[in-house]
């Protein structure tokens, strides 16, 4: 009755490997050197690196193909008013390590290479980042709005898209006459 | 006959919410599918930027109304990581108990809606009946059945009530008995249920990982990934439990997803029992968080539906500068076309029901 294909399950340890984050950071530093603008350990199993947007594809290819970071968890676009940041959370299912890769994007040219060639998971995340923040992902197969209507004119998560009221509630301090 | 598109949704009994699945059919066989989402987009990430850290907990409760505590807990954890806070030990244990109670309630709600999808109304009634037991426990603990607003940045809102441990144990014992002897009669041993679920909607492990499918749907593909084990938060490290993985081959079908969630119900009961034994009987359950914070932090937790990730950035104000919500259903939805392709139109309900869609968190 069942048509399930029998095969060996993917082997993962399912448990964290201690002090793997230093090893991964060392590997990244050895492979990319000065291209890594910043690299630090956040807490056991978690590290953060900062790169320029041109180095995104080499760094992510190295992470996925060479040291087995097979899960792209999340893509975040941040508006810093003078530049954009695109932050990728990439996870290794074997040892539980997570790398936070931040790429800087200039404000007047919000473009970055698409990661859909490496992870299919990037597809929806990049569409969402385009929809809400207006970052253009070059090489994306189908870059159109996903959450908002197709004819929406704005990218609402940008800081210059104001909410109706800046602060919705009156704080207690304000009621007492403070600022 | 030429191929053509059929809209399943936005108003369709299968969708459990407001979204549209467009399927392209050749006769009865599905050749392509295209999910259309965004009907419930409320702009959470923008709204949260003008509310103070604590007030956002109320919002994150409403991300998924059947799994509120797990979502507001993930947010609180991310803010704590940003502020550098550590919850007191008793607070962590209370969180573990509340998370698992919420997980059971959420899985039962899924099972209750999956039953009628396949024409099994008894499943709906039985599962909702048992869900009340756990909602009662959550109400005892937090004061509300749903949208509890229970976790706090730095701990939980209140301590456990006096007789909570005994009540919890009694409910779990009653529930486990049903889970062993009663439920399998209408699910595992039902020929109709198995014919509708076995062999449909298969997903290989490699595809699942590449498309970002997480949680029970990933474990149903035979991948042993459970963030409670792989990246332990709170006190899950000290608990002896077994992540529920489908062992019977590397391709997960609807039945595998059902079995994984079903076994997780039992495992969550096990976790609650251990937590009640191991937790310190007295002690602080909350620390006072700073009003303002600067920096960035993220936390990922094992939500009822997969990996929930919150990435919070603060700029020194009392409100977050940017909050990013990673919703597991949003990512699973990207993989639904490969789940559906090649199946019959009648199996769409069985497949999409089994991935446990919650539109609230998907559309944010």
Which residues, 6+ apart, have CB-to-CB distance to B181 below 8 Å? none
Question: CA-CA distance, B219 to B230, in Å (whole number)?
Answer: 13
> What does the buried/exposed string (b/e) look like for B55-66 if buried means 16 or more CB atoms within 10 Å of the residue's CB?
ebbebbbbbbeb
Which two tokens mark B203?
Answer: 């997903």
Which two tokens mark B15?
Answer: 């969708």
Taking the CA atoms of B241, B101, B286 and B46 in sequence, report the sign of the dihedral they define: positive
Query: Of the candidates B291, B201, B134, B249, which has an alpha carbon nearest to the alpha carbon of residue A8?
Result: B249
B4-363: which CATH topology? Cytochrome-c3 Hydrogenase; chain B (1.10.645)
B17 C-beta neighbours (distance < 10 Å), count = 16
Query: By CA distance, what is B223's nearest residue in A?
Result: A10
Taking the CA atoms of A15, A19, A24 and A25 in sequence, report the sign of the dihedral they define: positive
Question: CA-CA distance, B134 to B98, in Å (whole number)?
Answer: 10
Mean pLDDT of B68-76: 92
Q: What element of type H or E holds B68? A: helix B68-83
Q: What average pLDDT does chain B have?
A: 89
Mean pLDDT of B326-330: 91
Hey, of B225, B252, B267, B325, which one would you mutate to test binding to chain A, going by the most A CBs within 10 A of its CB? B225
- ipTM > 0.95 for the complex: no
Question: CA-CA distance, A107 to A80, in Å (whole number)?
Answer: 9
pLDDT over 90 percentage in chain B? 34
- Chain A partners of B211 at a C-beta cutoff of 8 Å? 120-121
* Model confidence at A13: pLDDT above 90: no
Query: By CA distance, what is B295's nearest residue in A?
Result: A42
Per-residue model confidence (pLDDT) at position A1: 31
Domains of chain A in sequence order:
20-175 (3.30.460.80)
Q: Calculate the CA dihedral of residues A166, A167, A173, A174 and round it to 10 degrees.
A: 60
Question: CA-CA distance, B76 to B335, in Å (whole number)?
Answer: 29
Q: Return the DSSP state at B35.
A: E
Summarize pLDDT for B210-232 with one digit per residue, the tens.
898 998 998 888 888 888 888 88
> What does the buried/exposed string (b/e) look like for B261-272 if buried means 16 or more CB atoms within 10 Å of the residue's CB?
bbbbbebbbbbb
Q: Is B232 on the interface with A (CB under 8 A)?
A: yes
Q: What is the pTM of this model?
A: 0.89
Query: Of the candidates B304, B357, B353, B358, which has an alpha carbon nearest to the alpha carbon of residue B124?
Result: B353
Summarize pLDDT for B5-58 with one digit per residue, the tens.
998 878 887 778 888 989 999 988 999 999 999 888 988 888 888 888 888 899
CA distance A90 to chain B (A): 11
Question: CA-CA distance, B139 to B119, in Å (whole number)?
Answer: 31
Q: Return the DSSP state at A33.
A: G
Query: By CA distance, what is B225's nearest residue in A?
Result: A14
B163 CA to centre of own chain: 28
Three-state secondary structure call for residue B19: coil
A9 CA to centre of own chain: 28
Q: Where in chain B are the domains?
A: 4-363
Question: CA-CA distance, B333 to B8, in Å (whole number)?
Answer: 14
Question: CA-CA distance, B19 to B361, in Å (whole number)?
Answer: 12
């Amino acid at each position: 009755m069942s048509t399930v294909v029998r095969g060996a399950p993917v082997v993962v340890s399912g448990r964290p490997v201690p002090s793997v984050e230093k090893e991964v950071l060392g590997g990244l530093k050895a492979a990319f050197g000065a291209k890594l603008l910043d690299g630090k350990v956040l807490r056991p199993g978690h590290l953060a690196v900062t790169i320029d947007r041109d180095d995104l594809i080499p760094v992510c290819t190295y992470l996925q193909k060479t040291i087995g970071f097979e899960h792209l968890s999340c893509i975040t676009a941040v508006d810093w008013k003078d530049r954009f940041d695109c932050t990728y959370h990439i996870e290794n299912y074997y040892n539980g390590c997570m790398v936070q890769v931040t790429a800087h994007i200039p404000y007047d040219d919000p473009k970055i290479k698409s990661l859909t060639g490496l992870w299919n998971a990037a597809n929806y995340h990049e569409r969402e980042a385009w929809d809400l923040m207006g970052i253009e992902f070059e090489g994306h197969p189908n870059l159109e709005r996903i959450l908002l209507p197709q004819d929406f004119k704005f990218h609402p998560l940008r800081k210059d898209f104001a909410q109706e009221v800046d602060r919705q509630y009156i704080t207690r301090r304000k009621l007492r006459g403070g600022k | 006959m030429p191929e053509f598109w059929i809209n399943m949704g936005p108003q369709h009994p299968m969708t459990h919410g407001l979204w549209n699945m467009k399927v392209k059919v050749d006769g009865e066989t599905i050749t392509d599918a295209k999910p259309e989402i965004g009907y419930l987009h409320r702009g959470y990430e923008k709204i949260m930027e003008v509310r103070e850290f604590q007030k956002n907990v109320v919002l994150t409760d409403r991300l998924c109304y059947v799994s509120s505590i797990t979502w507001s807990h993930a947010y609180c954890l991310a803010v704590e990581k940003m502020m550098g806070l550590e919850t007191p030990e008793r607070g962590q244990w209370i969180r573990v108990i509340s998370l698992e109670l919420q997980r059971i309630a959420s899985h039962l709600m899924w099972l209750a809606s999956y039953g009628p999808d396949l024409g099994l109304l008894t499943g709906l009634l039985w599962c909702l009946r048992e869900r009340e037991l756990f909602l009662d426990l959550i109400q005892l603990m937090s004061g509300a059945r749903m949208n509890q607003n229970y976790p706090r940045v730095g701990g939980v809102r209140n301590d456990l009530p006096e007789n909570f441990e005994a009540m919890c144990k009694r409910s779990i014992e009653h529930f486990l008995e049903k889970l062993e002897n009663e439920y399998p009669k209408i699910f595992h041993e039902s020929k109709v249920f198995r014919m509708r679920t076995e062999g449909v909607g298969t997903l290989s492990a490699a595809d699942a990982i590449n498309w970002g499918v997480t949680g029970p749907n990933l474990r149903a593909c035979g991948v042993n990934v459970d963030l409670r084990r792989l990246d332990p938060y709170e006190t899950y490290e000290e608990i002896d439990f077994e992540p529920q993985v489908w062992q019977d081959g590397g391709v997960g079908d609807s039945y595998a997803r059902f079995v994984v969630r079903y076994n997780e119900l039992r495992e969550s009961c096990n976790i609650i029992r251990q937590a009640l034994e191991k937790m310190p009987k007295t002690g602080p359950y909350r620390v006072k968080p700073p009003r303002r914070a600067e920096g960035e932090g993220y936390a990922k937790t094992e939500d009822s539906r997969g990996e929930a990730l919150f990435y919070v950035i603060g700029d020194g104000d009392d409100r977050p500068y940017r909050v990013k919500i990673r919703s597991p259903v949003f990512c699973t939805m990207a993989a639904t076309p490969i789940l559906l392709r090649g199946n019959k139109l009648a199996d769409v309900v069985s497949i999409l029901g089994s991935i446990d869609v919650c539109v609230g968190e998907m559309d944010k």
